[in-house]
């Protein structure tokens, strides 16, 4: 497996502002994903972060709200834009080394919007 | 899309007892079924997984069984210990090259000493 580090681990933000979350993997991975986990809930996939091209978003998530970058095989960022209290959640990054290996997760970023 | 149902939502057992969590899925093309353990304040950690060509897999106190015909798979934890207390999620990969996972809603397992 690989180790995924997310920064920041938590933050409290004012509504209307934006926060960029960083995800760093200690080795190259083929696939990277971003999930949202609302308190006490399951994981919902936001998007697949594609290296060198635009992310692929799931239904209900749009690029203007959640812009994603993935400049190389070990790093990705997720920005939560124009935040509202409804964006308060845990945001998780995950990666797969290749298509037939396990998905491993970062520790998450706990975001509170006030 | 894929629909994953997980039961029970909460499970309380005495230390030393067994715990069983079950998930059902809808897409018969699904081919990979991992289980994750999430402790408070941490990200999900893979504890065991099974692929569609296998009916059962065991790793010490943890086992997973898969019934492809009935489209369900189960996590079995034997000789439970207080440190097994956590939220457990099942997930399903429904084929294709994008390797997306659909997660169940989770089971809060409490092991009472």
Within 8 A of B105 by CB-CB distance, chain A residues are 41-42
- Please indicate if any CB of chain B lies within 8 Å of the CB of A33: yes
Task: Look at residue A99 in the predicted model and tell me its pLDDT.
Answer: 67
Q: How many CB pairs under 8 A join A and B?
A: 49
Residue-wise pLDDT tens digits, B57-89? 999 999 999 999 999 999 999 999 999 999 999
Task: Look at residue B5 in the predicted model and tell me its pLDDT.
Answer: 97
Calculate the alpha carbon distances from B8 to A14, A85, B68, B107 in Å.
37, 30, 20, 6
Task: Look at residue A98 in the predicted model and tell me its pLDDT.
Answer: 75
CB contact under 8 A, B43 and A92: yes
Within 8 A of B100 by CB-CB distance, chain A residues are 33, 45, 48
- In the predicted structure, residue B16 carries a pLDDT above the cut 70: yes
CB contact under 8 A, B43 and A102: no
How confident is the prediction for chain B on average, in pLDDT? 94
CB contact under 8 A, B98 and A106: no
CB contact under 8 A, B103 and A43: yes
- Angle value at C-alpha B24, between B20 and B28, nearest 5 degrees: 140
Task: Look at residue A101 in the predicted model and tell me its pLDDT.
Answer: 75
Of B36, B45, B99, the CB nearest to A99: B99
Percent of chain B with pLDDT over 70: 96
Give the residue with greater pLDDT, B66 vs B100: B66
- In the predicted structure, residue B1 carries a pLDDT above the cut 80: no
Task: Look at residue B94 in the predicted model and tell me its pLDDT.
Answer: 73
Residue B96: pLDDT band (50, 70, 90) is low
d(CA B3, nearest CA chain A) in Å: 13
Residue-wise pLDDT tens digits, A41-95? 999 999 999 998 899 999 999 999 999 999 999 999 999 999 999 999 999 999 9
Q: DSSP string covering B85-106, please?
A: -EEEEEEEE-SSSS--EEE---
Task: Look at residue A2 in the predicted model and tell me its pLDDT.
Answer: 79
How confident is the prediction for chain A on average, in pLDDT? 94
Task: Look at residue B2 in the predicted model and tell me its pLDDT.
Answer: 80
Residue A31 burial (CB count, 10 A)? 21
């Amino acid at each position: 497996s690989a180790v995924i580090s997310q920064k920041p681990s938590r933050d409290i933000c004012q509504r209307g502002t934006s926060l960029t979350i960083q995800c760093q993997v200690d080795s190259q991975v083929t696939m990277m994903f971003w999930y949202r986990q609302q308190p006490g809930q399951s994981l919902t996939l936001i998007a697949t972060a594609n290296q060198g091209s635009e992310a692929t978003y799931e239904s209900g998530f749009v690029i203007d709200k959640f812009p994603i970058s993935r400049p190389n095989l070990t790093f990705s960022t997720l920005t939560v834009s124009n935040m509202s209290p409804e964006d308060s959640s845990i945001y998780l990054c995950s990666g797969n080394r290749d298509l037939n290996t396990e998905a491993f997760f970062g520790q998450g970023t706990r975001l509170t919007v006030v | 899309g894929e629909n994953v149902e997980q039961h029970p939502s909460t499970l309380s057992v005495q230390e030393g007892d067994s715990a069983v969590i079950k998930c059902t899925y809808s897409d018969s093309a699904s081919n990979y079924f991992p289980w994750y353990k999430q402790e408070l304040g941490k990200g999900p950690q893979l504890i065991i997984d099974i692929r569609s060509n296998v009916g059962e897999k065991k790793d010490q106190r943890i086992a997973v069984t898969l019934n492809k015909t009935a489209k369900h798979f189960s996590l079995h934890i034997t000789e439970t210990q207080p440190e097994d207390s956590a939220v457990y999620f099942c997930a399903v990969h429904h084929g294709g090259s994008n390797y997306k996972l659909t997660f169940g809603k989770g089971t809060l397992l409490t092991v009472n000493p």
